[in-house]
A = this chain, B = another copy of it.
């Protein structure tokens, strides 16, 4: 894979999965190194340590597996501009830290009240509520430390730009805002009033914004033109939407096979989904259409965009 335009491999799906797995290893190593006492920084005096219980909770939140799909998007969009994977690692690690902190907080009893994630006890279950809240808070700070530090990119202008982008994607206008809308619909009883537009808007904030950040971050790291950035933003928006349709379909189809009435269950909970509003068949065709639109957004990159095209297929095909 050292050529800029590699010969198409005989089994592109296998090659995609290998690449995704290599990224996951790199990201796991990077995050494990950050989450040691002293947070891996070289300029730390030995007196400075993250308290042990807090550190263990932060590690639990971050190092429990995960496909590291967002860092993969950062890496692959950066690769379009010739940026080596290692140079995309701080930005990829930062977005993954934000993703992991949001899971630790979303799982809390005060929020979604979840016991398990990826087959493991959630952070508050393994520790307690206050530790899970503080671990999430500490992970958010660490994400911004990653972006600001010199190893992220030699040009401080790039680091500052990524900081603003990630802050906006993860804050009240993005991820946190989407989670607030989602809980509002569920808790304050206006879930039944949701339309396809309001759900799309909510999801574009809650999950879409970090995916768009991940795709655009590569162009920022690699000095892409504004047209290239716009193309990657557009790809990211479509990919995020496809991701959400696939997620909703998976819930329904997964449950339908075992329980037989998952759609009714969602409706009883007062929680509209893309699938409940569109219907199964329309959702399935929206999924493939959106995948095709995501892929079309990459036309400007020619053959260089193949890995991101396969990422769109991966989102559509995912089974967990």
Which residues of A does B touch, CB under 8 Å? 38-39, 41, 44, 48-51, 53-55, 58, 101-102, 105, 108, 110-111, 128-131, 133-134, 136-138, 140-142, 144-145, 147-150, 155-157, 159-164, 166-168, 170-173, 176-177, 179-181, 183-184, 187
Contacts and interface: CB of A to CB of B under 8 A. Distances in A.
B48 A173 contact: yes
A216 B41 CA distance: 20
How many copies, total? 2
Contacts of A133: 105, 108, 110-111, 133
Contacts of A160: 148-150, 156, 159-160, 163
Nearest to A202: B51
7 contacts: A38-B173, A44-B173, A54-B176, A101-B137, A105-B134, A108-B130, A141-B168
Contact of A140 (B58, B108, B140): B140
A177 B159 CA distance: 25
Contact of A176 (B137, B149, B162): B137
A141 B53 contact: no
A173 B49 contact: yes
Contacts of A58: 172
A54 B157 CA distance: 31
A50 B173 contact: yes
Given A148-B164, A173-B39, A184 B53 contact: yes
Contacts of A51: 172, 177, 180-181, 184
Contacts of A163: 144-145, 147-148, 159-160, 163
Nearest to A53: B184
A171 B145 contact: yes
B179 A134 contact: yes
Which of A58, A144, A149, A183 has the most CB atoms of chain B within a 10 A radius of its CB? A144
Contacts of A129: 110
Contacts of A39: 171-173
Contacts of A171: 39, 137-138, 141-142, 145
B110 A172 contact: no
A172 B130 contact: no
Contacts of A157: 156
Given A137-B105, A163-B148, A171-B145, A177 B54 contact: yes
